[in-house]
Amino acid sequence: MKLLRLGLISFCICIMMASCIKDEAPNAEADITSCKIPSKALIRDPVITNDKVILYVNDSVDITKQAPEFTLTEGASILPASGTTRDFSSPQTYTVTSQDGKWKKSYQVEYVFNEMLTVYHFENVKMYNDIDYDTGKTKDFFQIFCDTLQGNEMEWGDGNSGFMIINSDAAATDYPTCQSDSGYVGKCAKLTTRSTGSLGAMFNAPIAAGNLFIGTFEINLTNTAKSTHFGVPFYSTPKELVGYYKYKAGSVFTDSKMNVVTGKKDNFDIYAVFYEVTDDVQYLDGTNSLTSSNIVSIARLTDKMETNQWTRFAIPFQMNNGKSIDQNKLKSGKYNLAIIMSSSIDGANFNGAVGSTLYVDEMQLFYE
């Protein structure tokens, strides 16, 4: 996967949650921009990220003989060719080559009709790699939390790639989101609010909060808060989110302009939302993850405290504004669920305290 042109760095700093920025040079991009399969097979629009295409389909679809069709960036080519029939019992790899032939990108294309994972041990990570401008070679930058269920891989979303743009020399363990060996059981997720340095401060983005969320990221140049796409299909009624946490707030709280806010202390956030998917709301994002009228129920941790001891939480889902769940829609995959965590509760607006650290482990979603 190619690293981004320097001309987009300032934009990336402002959003801090970008997972990939495309090369500005004409005819040098190697991206899948859209994917098409028969509409009756889909329960949701295709999800396209930097290296993956996810197709959520009905249970009746025969995934052993599928021929997805792709739209690519101008002049790019793909192998196997668009429309090739393949067996998607396991994810299939496609390679996109830019028109100038200098860049190649591999995509994993998978058909998904299984339930999402509901038990999270945070034991498994893989490395995100990209081209290092200094050496021209591929380099491992940061960790991505992942797990598999019945052959399908689930990746947690995070904001590490934005931090990479302004601090690419950082060790993986110095990124806002990484794995720690000191879990409640084994390893755990460690979310830390980091300084973005002088470059970040120039764009009123002086911090990068550690975060994890279920969903994907697609850049929205006109409204960066809409770049986060929270949630994946869930076919059951969520009842409770349970897990363990530790938390220590940073000592100095600042706003997005680096003004010290006297007397204000940072805090963390852990919550889950269950919402209806409609034609105009395919997912929630940073502007409406707690306010959308499509939200059916919410589980949000309110009894929070600083502690260096592993502390159990159990958050019941509360129905939102008299909402109810339509069982037919539930069976048809018309509801999404997202779990969202951050080391700074207002980190999306670049308000928080450097050094605030949230550890999370052994989390489970209970459902009917």
Q: Which two tokens stand for residue 37?
A: 């399969």
* pLDDT band at residue 222 using 50, 70 and 90 as cut-offs: low
pLDDT tens-digit readout, 100-118: 998 899 999 999 886 788 9
Q: Compute the distance between CA of residue 173 and CA of residue 190 in angstroms, rounded to an integer.
A: 9
Pair 3, 133: CB distance under 8 Å = yes
Mean of pLDDT values over 28-37 = 92
161 and 48 housed in the same domain: no
Q: Which two tokens stand for residue 160?
A: 């590490």
Asked whether the predicted pLDDT for residue 331 surpasses 60, the reply is yes
87 and 107 housed in the same domain: yes
CATH number of the domain where residue 101 is located: 2.60.40.2340
What is the pLDDT at residue 3? 38
Asked whether the predicted pLDDT for residue 174 surpasses 70, the reply is yes
User: What letter does residue 173 receive in the DSSP assignment?
Assistant: G
What is the pLDDT at residue 16? 43
Higher pLDDT: 221 or 97? It is: 97
Domain stops at, among 72, 93, 112: 112
What is the pLDDT at residue 40? 87
Q: Compute the distance between CA of residue 201 and CA of residue 272 in angstroms, rounded to an integer.
A: 31
Q: Which DSSP helix (H) or strand (E) runs through 15?
A: helix 9-15
Higher pLDDT: 13 or 351? It is: 351
* pLDDT band at residue 129 using 50, 70 and 90 as cut-offs: confident
73 and 122 housed in the same domain: no
**Overall pTM surpassing 0.85 (yes/no):** no
Q: Compute the distance between CA of residue 145 and CA of residue 126 in angstroms, rounded to an integer.
A: 7
Asked whether the predicted pLDDT for residue 144 surpasses 60, the reply is yes
Asked whether the predicted pLDDT for residue 4 surpasses 80, the reply is no
- Number of domains the chain contains: 2
Pair 44, 277: CB distance under 8 Å = yes
Domain stops at, among 68, 95, 112: 112
Pair 25, 172: CB distance under 8 Å = no
- Please indicate, yes or no, if residue 51 is contained in any of the structural domains: yes
Q: Compute the distance between CA of residue 296 and CA of residue 235 in angstroms, rounded to an integer.
A: 14
Full residue range of the structural domain in which residue 363 is found: 114-367
103 and 122 housed in the same domain: no
